[in-house]
Structure formats: C-alpha cells, structure tokens
Amino acid sequence: MVASQYYRGFAVSVAWTLVLLTLGSVVHATESSLACPDWPTCFGTMMPLMEGGIFWEHLHRLVAGGLILIFAAATFIAWRDGAEKRSVVRAALAGVALLLVQAVFGGLTVIYQLPDAVSTTHLTLAFSFLSLAVVLATVTSPRRTAHGPLGADVRAILRRWGLLAAGLVGLQSIIGAWVRHSDSGMACPDFPTCLGSWVPPLDNHFVAVQFTHRVMGVVAALAVLTLMAKLLRSTAAPHVRRAALGAGALVLTQFTLGVVSVFTILAVVPVSLHTLGAAALLSVLVLLTTWGFMGSATAATADMGASPHESARALQTLRSSY
C-alpha cells in the first residue's frame, strides 16, 4: 500500500480524537460519567439500552474503541510498508500504548467513581495523544513537493514561539482538565473579576484552581497572538499565515466560550465547545511547530519536503521536545 494510506489513518485519528474529546466533555457536562457503573461493560453488557446518560457514556466508550482500532490499523500499515524510517513506527507504537493506558485510566475513573487525579490524568493523556497524532499525520503526509523549504526566519519563529505557545496551551488544557474534574468551574461566578476582585483570596482550593486557569489562559493567549504577529510580519508562505490566523481566531473563540460558560453556569454546549476549541488550538500549534522542525510544509497538512531521513530527524526532535 502507498504511504498515503497510513497517513490517512493518522489524519483520521486526529479528527476522531477531536470528536472523542468533545464527547468526553458532553459526558461530564451532562453528569453521565457514572451512567454505566461498571467497566468495560455497561450494566454487564456491551450493548446496553442507549438512552439518557447511558447513551452519552457508552457512545463515548464506543468512539474510544473505534479510535484504538483506527490508529492501530494505521500503525500496522506503516510498519508493514516500512513507513519513512523506524522513528515513525516507534512513535506510532508509542501512540498505541498511550491509547491503551488512557483506556485503563478511563476504566479507573468509573471503578473508583471519578477521583479528580485519575480523571484529570485521563484527559491529559487524551491531549498528549492528540499532539502525537498531529505530528504523525504531519510528517507522513504524501504531498512532499507542494512547497519549497521554509525560510530560516520562519523556521526560527515556529521552533521558538510555536513550541512555547503549544507548550503553554497544552499546560492550560491540563489545568482546564483539573478545573473540570475538581468541579471548580463556577468557583468564580463573575467575569472578568473573580468574587468581585481582580486577585481573589486563594486559600480556597476551588478558587485557586479557577483563578490559575484564567491567568494561564491570558499567558497562553499572549504567546499565541505573539506567534501569529511574528509570522504575519515574516516571509511565511500563505499556508503558514493561514494557520497562524486560524490559531489567533481560535484564541478569541476560546476566550468567548470561556466567558459564555461562566454566564450560562456551565451549560453543555459552550462547555463542550470550549473543550473542542482547546483541542483544535493545540492541534494547530503542534502543526505549526512541526513545520518549523521539518523545514518545509504542504498547504493542506504539512510535509517533510526533502527526504525520509529528514522526516525521521524531525520526528525524533519533536518527540524529545514534547
């Protein structure tokens, strides 16, 4: 099979993970997390009556199972066809292991009835897998000659500011997971202040977690907007500029959804879209960073440019960075 087939598997895995993350947010927002009190079955069966909270919880499990199958299939095809270099296959195998560990943590959240640390770890692993899947989809894209190498100035911006922005958004996503699973979402019921103050009393755990999330949101947003501004002032190619503008638009959307979530008292739709926005923003930033380490990109999803050896080196560098 041609390389594009395992590339498609990795690309589908990215989209599938975005759907899965959104479903996970719906499960929590609708208080359906323990609708199935057992695991891996639901009331002792793999085919429960799909209604109410059981629908959302079991659908989440089914979609998660589908992701494991899709990504495992892409990994197998990449291994069988000798994808790029061995580093791609090793990274894909690490992704399969990550998915299995995440599934176990999903089971533990049910068995131990939603402990904050386990639930937060479960979501953190999901964001980690998403980042890895984006890297794999990027470095295995078959469209190798659509664009020439990026300029040195653009690569420098992407490697420094792209990596910084992606790291901060990843950290902010983890803090957001802690906010969600510690039930700190409404610890600050007002905005832009918190309990009527710009710096609220931080002796309360819930307030401290929510306030940290807000502060980190500002820091991460500034990093993303700085990255966007630097790229727009550089000699970046049109597809890089579009991705940068997309990241900036996602930051503004995230800010709006965060505010709406507070004023609607954590309504299902804005909260779920807020999670999707965080995942989409992280994906775009990882994509931009990967382009910087690769040195060239395609208009659609990015690409290695010159050779399989460059692909392997770029993937190795990105793996050590994340």
Q: What is the pLDDT of residues 89-115, one digit of tens each?
A: 999 999 999 999 999 999 999 999 889
Decide if pLDDT at 121 tops 90: yes
Decide if pLDDT at 1 tops 50: no
Q: What is the pLDDT of residues 291-305, one digit of tens each?
A: 999 864 443 333 333
| In the chain, % of residues over pLDDT 90 | 78
Does the N-terminal peptide bond of residue 37 adopt cis geometry, omega within 30 degrees of 0? Answer: no
Decide if pLDDT at 215 tops 70: yes
Q: What is the mean pLDDT of residues 277-288?
A: 97
Q: Are 141 and 152 part of one and the same domain?
A: no
From residue 25, how far is each of 2, 21, 33, 256 by CA, in Å?
Answer: 36, 6, 10, 17
At residue 184, the pLDDT reads: 94
Strand (E) or helix (H) holding 123: helix 116-139
Is 199 within a domain? yes
For residue 138, give every residue at least 6 positions away whose Cβ sits within 8 Å of its Cβ, in sequence order, or none: 286, 287, 290, 291, 294, 301, 302, 303
Q: Are 260 and 165 part of one and the same domain?
A: yes
Is 309 within a domain? no
Is 313 within a domain? no
Q: Are 187 and 203 part of one and the same domain?
A: yes
At residue 316, the pLDDT reads: 58
At residue 249, the pLDDT reads: 97
Range of the domain at 281: 147-297
C-alpha 25/C-alpha 94 separation (Å) is 25
Q: Are 126 and 181 part of one and the same domain?
A: no
When divided into structural domains, the chain yields a total of 2
Using an 8 Å Cβ cutoff, are 291 and 150 in contact? yes
Decide if pLDDT at 80 tops 70: yes
C-alpha 233/C-alpha 227 separation (Å) is 10
Is 10 within a domain? yes
Q: Are 128 and 157 part of one and the same domain?
A: no
For residue 236, give every residue at least 6 positions away whose Cβ sits within 8 Å of its Cβ, in sequence order, or none: 150, 151, 154, 157, 244
Q: Are 228 and 279 part of one and the same domain?
A: yes
Q: Which amino acid, one-letter code, is at 276?
A: L
Q: Are 154 and 285 part of one and the same domain?
A: yes
Q: Which of 145, 174, 189 is the last residue of a domain?
A: 145
Q: What is the pLDDT of residues 42-79, one digit of tens each?
A: 999 999 999 999 999 999 999 999 999 999 999 999 98
Q: Are 164 and 286 part of one and the same domain?
A: yes
Q: Are 60 and 85 part of one and the same domain?
A: yes
C-alpha 314/C-alpha 281 separation (Å) is 21
